[in-house]
Amino acid sequence: MAHREIGVAVLGLGNVGGEVVRILRSASADFEARVGAPLVLRGIAVRSIGSDRGVPEDLLTTDAQALVERDDVDIVVEVIGGIEPVRTLILTALQSGKSVVTANKALLADYTGELASAAKDADVDLYFEAAVAGAIPVVRPLMQSLAGDRVDRVVGIVNGTTNYILSAMDATGADYSDSLADASRLGYAEADPTADVEGYDAAAKAAILASLAFHTRVTAADVYREGISAITAADLASARAVGCTVKLLAMCERVPGRPDVADGEDWVSARVYPALVPLTHPLANVDGAFNAVVVEAEAAGRLMFYGQGAGGGPTASSVLGDLVSAARNKVHGGKGPDESTYAGLRIGPMGDTPTRYHVFMEVTDRVGVLSAVAAEFSKHDVSISVVRQEDTEVGASLVVVTHMALESALRDTVAALENLEYVNAVTSVLRMEGTGE
Ligand SMILES: NC(=O)C1=CN([C@@H]2O[C@H](COP(=O)(O)OP(=O)(O)OC[C@H]3O[C@@H](n4cnc5c(N)ncnc54)[C@H](O)[C@@H]3O)[C@@H](O)[C@H]2O)C=CC1
Ligand SMILES: N[C@@H](CC=O)C(=O)O
Ligand code: NA
């Protein structure tokens, strides 16, 4: 028996919305066959109607609120971005019984609780596969495929823009600003690319990943964050010299509780920063706007998800996958999983997180400088793994790579190094990941 039409509203007709609408309109027969009912585009909310957007003008409206409230809209696809008016539009949709598909990680990182509970109350779907790592299916695997396992770690390259910039700087010596401009032109960057280069976008994604992985509400404010705007060609060269490259990593870990500390329970560490990654590590070879997410789970072991993390087409693929799921539920009954936060693990501070440091210093080339530097590391209980010294025109550059130590101990060590007589400057401090030591 033919089912009624499923009405779809799309909010936003930019990089992602443009591709969503193009594919939806060009493959309508396939969508109908996959869903079991026709998906009918009721309208597209845009900021202004004017330039030729390649869609019939009667589909366009500047009144997103009215579109969302239409009785013949069953599913709202939000690809505008940002917090307001989008949060209100999504809440309106959910509260009036419409399912929502969104790519908006900035919104989800702070408001998943509110949105998910509105979806639950109205017995409708809130899907957001596109919000993390573009085309790569990672939200659904964490929420559903791994729901029977215990996830211990999620580490990934989850921002296409910064990965594009770092790859270009490393491979060809490309300029930082030129590479950022290219990433914007190619549709990878956020409307304000500060979100990309300062790590806010990756932190929002880390919050979403950590929430799903550990059944715990994690928001953007819980994620320690550093961006890539201070990374220089010298950092990349120095990384190469120790067999590494630099990647902006999002790391979400279940850290085992220590019986002698606090409540002794496992806790969550969620963090984003540029880190040295050994060239032999699979994440080192993820280049351009590609993303990859490595998940470690108790029974499954290590899984790696890889693909295009940004761009209109790849992101539209995830949005449309969610749209089909939401539409199937409307047609056949059923509902996607609700938010799961039952574990409620504590989110720990960065200072308690074990990491490794790569410290780059300009020193005066004198007898005793090396032993003075080594003594500071040892005083703070930080063990050294590699030391590399090179003469420069004005003295020497010294690179020290540590073994694993508490972040707080590493910070104290660097502060002490800065006060040493023969250390002229600590020019960069990067963490090192992916070695397991
Ligand atoms: N571009 C990408 O690679 C990815 C983007 N996303 C997310 O998808 C969303 C959209 O991203 P893009 O398409 O790249 O952004 P975009 O900036 O290209 O498109 C957003 C569109 O929304 C329009 N808009 C703004 N306010 C509006 C309003 N009140 N009513 C109607 N339209 C309005 C803008 O004019 C613009 O055309 C964002 O949440 C972004 O974070 C997620 C994954 C990847
Ligand atoms: N700006 C984001 C877009 C996808 O989420 C990125 O560069 O990854
Ligand atoms: Na995804």
3-class DSSP assignment, residue 90: helix
**Would you give per-residue pLDDT tens digits along the chain (437 residues)?**
456 899 999 999 999 999 999 999 999 999 999 999 999 999 999 999 976 678 999 999 999 999 999 999 999 999 999 999 999 999 999 999 999 999 999 999 999 999 999 999 999 999 999 999 999 999 999 999 999 999 999 999 999 999 999 999 999 999 999 999 999 999 999 999 999 999 999 999 999 999 999 999 999 999 999 999 999 998 999 899 889 999 999 999 999 987 666 678 999 999 999 999 999 999 999 999 999 999 999 999 999 999 999 999 999 999 999 999 999 999 999 999 999 999 999 999 999 999 999 999 999 988 889 999 999 999 999 999 999 998 888 889 999 999 999 999 999 999 999 999 999 999 999 999 876 65
Distance CA 278, CA 401 (A): 12
Cβ(11)–Cβ(89) below 8 Å: yes
Instruction: Please give the full DSSP string across 186-229, using - where no structure is assigned.
Output: TT-S-SSTHHHHTSHHHHHHHHHHHHHHHTS---GGGSEE--ST
Residue 190, token pair as written in the block: 């956020």
Which of 11, 13, 15 maximizes ligand 1 atoms within 8 Å of its Cβ, making it the mutation to test the pocket?
15
Q: What is the pLDDT of residues 61-114, one digit of tens each?
A: 999 999 999 999 999 999 999 999 999 999 999 999 999 999 999 999 999 999
Q: In the chain, what are the helix, strand and coil shares in percent, each to the nearest 5?
A: 40, 25, 35
Q: Tell me the two tokens of residue 174.
A: 């490309």
Cα of 156 vs centre of ligand 2, distance in Å, is 13
CA dihedral 12, 18, 23, 28 (to 10 degrees): 50
Q: For residue range 79-94, what is the model confidence (pLDDT) as tens digits? A: 999 999 999 999 999 9
> How many A from CA of 142 to the centre of ligand 3?
11
Active site residue 205: yes
- Among the bound ligands, name the one nearest to the CA of residue 315: 1
Pick from 92, 148, 85: nearest CA to 124? 92
Nearest-atom number in ligand 1 for the CA of 191 is 17
Ligand 2, closest atom to CA 291? Answer: 8
Residue 79 near ligand 1, beta carbon < 6 Å: yes
Q: How long is the chain?
A: 437
| Residue carrying structure tokens 């080192």 | 284
| Distance of alpha carbon 187 from alpha carbon 17, whole angstroms | 12
Q: Is the ipTM of this complex over 0.95?
A: yes
Nearest to 17 by CA among 376, 315, 303: 315
How many angstroms separate the alpha carbon of residue 378 from the centre of ligand 1? 50
Name residues whose C-beta falls within 8 Å of residue 197's C-beta, 6 or more positions apart in sequence: 161, 162, 165, 180, 227, 228, 229
Return the DSSP state at 51.
S
Residue 119 DSSP SS3: helix
The two tokens of residue 372 are 């003075």
Query: Rounded CA gap, 329 and 317, in Å?
Result: 19
Q: Mean pLDDT across the chain, nearest whole number?
A: 95
Q: Which of 36, 94, 124, 90 is nearest to 324 (CA)?
A: 36
389 has which bridge partners?
A: 398
pLDDT in tens, 329-348: 999 999 999 999 999 999 99
Closest among 161, 131, 178 to 288, alpha carbons compared? 161
In the DSSP assignment, the letter for residue 127 is E
Closest ligand 1 atom number to CA of residue 82: 39
Give the separation between CA 284 and CA 218, rounded to whole angstroms. 27
Which residue among 98, 105, 120, 205 is the active-site one? Answer: 205
Q: Is residue 275 within a helix (H) or strand (E), and if so which, with residue range?
A: strand 267-278
Among candidate residues 87, 233, 101, 227, the one with its CA nearest the CA of residue 159: 227
Residue 12 CB partners (closer than 8 Å, separation 6+): 45, 46, 78, 79, 80, 81
Ligand with smallest separation from the Cα of 197: 2
Neighbours of 221 (CB within 10 A): 11
